Amino acid sequence: MSHQKFQDCIDECVACAVACSHCATSCLQEEDIKMMSRCIQLDLECAAICRAAAEVMSLGSGFSAHLCRVCADVCKACGDECAKHDMEHCQACAEACRKCAEACEEMATAA
Amino acid sequence: MSHQKFQDCIDECVACAVACSHCATSCLQEEDIKMMSRCIQLDLECAAICRAAAEVMSLGSGFSAHLCRVCADVCKACGDECAKHDMEHCQACAEACRKCAEACEEMATAA
Amino acid sequence: MSHQKFQDCIDECVACAVACSHCATSCLQEEDIKMMSRCIQLDLECAAICRAAAEVMSLGSGFSAHLCRVCADVCKACGDECAKHDMEHCQACAEACRKCAEACEEMATAA
Amino acid sequence: MSHQKFQDCIDECVACAVACSHCATSCLQEEDIKMMSRCIQLDLECAAICRAAAEVMSLGSGFSAHLCRVCADVCKACGDECAKHDMEHCQACAEACRKCAEACEEMATAA
């Protein structure tokens, strides 16, 4: 199994991890942080799992599909939360999560 | 959900990640690396997933059980491979994998 | 260079990363999150660098000392911030940061 | 400090981490692994540090420049080693390392 066939999914995972970390740190500077606490929490969980999925796919691992299954789920949860907030960083993160969930879903099903 | 209830499992994941990285780098210095290539490969996959499981549990994530499910599986695969080799680093890694698989299995079932 | 001589420093880095992630997620559940925003931010930066330092040392890398130099600095910054807050998770994190900074400082100087 | 100004450097770090992991796993499948052992070792060190640099920059951390300093150094070491080998994965990794070293160098100096 080569990492080439994983390349699109790797790219989405990596972009999503960056968007989540950026969203978390941006939420921390918002006026009403309280309202953002669940968003920050899910950002951190999603970033951790996206990074792991990207690393494992880069290694061409046979466990990639299993990790992508979990990654699709956390991306959906994080994206749903981010979508509730109007800030640019939340909307951008929601979009990155949506695309990553889709790519991971495909990977999880195909493998 | 607090990280306290996850503490034992976190400790095993972290110890296993360190043992895997150390095993990989030690295998690279062995005379017959060819024989160790599958061991190194699984070490890298296992280390990546153990690190992610530890991080996600430290965050008290609701996705911990799902990640621990994958972690238990990769630990078993890596531990089985390491157990075939007599070197101290492989035997130590096999033992770390065995303990981590057990802790993750319990976490995956309990949650 | 073996990872054995790095073992104490690895242990402190790993414990500090876990304490930081736990502190961040606990801060997010506090009544006055606003007051904790800098603490959460530094927790996240510190956790990321501690995890990297532990991984690089586990690999017996020649770059360990350079990474420990940065790790000591972020641990000091994070520990100083955590020490200002009375919550148990902040005090525990401050102590983990203090011990990790000390171990990394030693590693950075010795190498 | 926003993550936008870091975006190019983040992209290079992330691409380099993926190239390094892919190079390591590809080297493990080569006929003469012995010859590749230093390449694999540096790939692993470089991937770990690139991932950390990308994460820390995504968080808009004040420690980004310090980490980019270390990242530039490991990228140069890894790129020099990869450049010695004719395989496509090594040449691609050497190029990713060269671009990442350049971006990190700039980040380290500018900050």
For A1-49, the pLDDT digits (tens) are 445 568 999 999 999 999 999 999 999 999 999 999 999 999 999 999 9
Confirm whether C73 is domain-assigned: yes
| Closest to B54 measured CA to CA, from C18, C96, C43, A55 | C18
Maximal CA-CA distance, chain C: 48
Please indicate whether, in this complex, the C-beta atoms of D48 and C41 are within 8 angstroms of each other.
no
**Does position A50 have pLDDT exceeding 50, yes or no?**
yes
Task: Look at B18 and C58 and tell me if their CB atoms are within 8 Å.
Answer: yes
- Name subunits touching D (3+ CB pairs < 8 A): A, B, C
User: Does B25 fall in a domain?
Assistant: yes
CATH of the domain at D52: 1.20.1270.360
CA C40 vs. chain centroid, Å, equals 13
Q: Does A17 touch chain D (CB under 8 A)?
A: yes
Residue C106 has pLDDT above 70, yes or no: yes
Which runs of consecutive H residues, i.e. helices, occur in chain D? 7-27, 33-58, 64-83, 88-110
Q: What are phi and psi of A5, to 5 degrees?
A: -70, -15
pLDDT digits (tens, 9 = 90+) for C55-74: 999 999 999 999 999 999 99
- Total structural domains in chain C? 1
Using CA atoms, how far apart are residues D76 and D79, in angstroms rounded to an integer?
A: 5
Chain D contact for B41, CB < 8 A?
yes
Cβ atoms < 10 Å from Cβ of A31: 8
User: Which subunits count as partners of chain A given 3+ CB pairs below 8 Å?
Assistant: B, C, D
pLDDT given for residue B6 in this prediction: 83
pLDDT of B5 = 62
**Rounded distance, CA A14 to CA C69, Å?**
27
Query: Considering the domain boundaries, does residue C74 fall inside one?
Result: yes
Touching partners of B (3+ C-beta pairs < 8 Å): A, C, D
The phi, psi pair for B17, rounded to 5°, reads -60, -45
Of the candidates B105, B18, B111, the one whose C-alpha atom is nearest the C-alpha of residue B64 is B111
What band does C1 get if pLDDT is binned at 50, 70 and 90?
A: very low
pLDDT of B63-76, one tens digit each?
999 999 999 999 99
- Nearest residue on chain C to A43, judged by CA atoms? C25
Q: How confident is the model at residue D4 (pLDDT cuts 50, 70, 90)?
A: low
Give chain A positions within 8 Å (CB) of B59. Answer: 41, 44-45, 48
Tokens of residue D81, six digits:
């080693």
Cα separation, C77 vs C24, in Å, equals 15
Q: Any residues with CB less than 8 A from the CB of C3 and at least 6 apart, and which?
A: B18, B21, B22, B25, C10, C57, C58, C59, C60
Tell if the CB–CB gap between D37 and B28 is shorter than 8 Å: yes
pLDDT score for A5 = 62
Burial of B111 (0-12, 13-18, 19+ CB in 10 A): middle
Cβ–Cβ < 8 Å for C76, C97: yes
Q: What is the pLDDT of residue C111?
A: 59
* Tokens, residue D109: 């100096």
- Considering only alpha carbons, which residue of chain B is nearest residue C52? B51
**Is residue B2 in some structural domain?**
no
Is C41–A33 a contact, with Cβ atoms under 8 angstroms apart? no
Ranges in chain B, pLDDT < 50: 1-2
Does some domain include residue A2?
Answer: no
Q: Which of A75-79, B5-9, C82-86 has the lowest mean pLDDT?
A: B5-9
* pLDDT value of position B59: 95
CB-CB under 8 Å, D51 with A21: no
The Cα angle at residue A7 between residues D75 and D65, in degrees rounded to 5? 30
Calculate how close chain B gets to A50, using CA atoms only, in Å: 9
Q: How far is the C-alpha of B91 from the C-alpha of D72, rounded, in Å?
A: 35
CB contact, 8 Å: D21 with chain A? Answer: yes
Nearest to B28 among D21, D29, D40 (CB): D40
ipTM over 0.90: yes
Three-point CA angle D110, D19, D80, nearest 5°: 70
Residue range(s) defining the domain that contains residue B57: 7-110
Token digits of residue D56 = 């820390």
Q: pLDDT at residue D111 above 80?
A: no
pLDDT attached to residue A6:
83
- Is residue A48 within 8 A of residue A82, CB to CB? The reply is no
User: How distant is the Cα of A88 from the closest Cα of chain B, in angstroms?
Assistant: 25
Residue B74, number of CB atoms within 10 A of its CB: 29
One-letter amino acid identity for D37? Answer: S
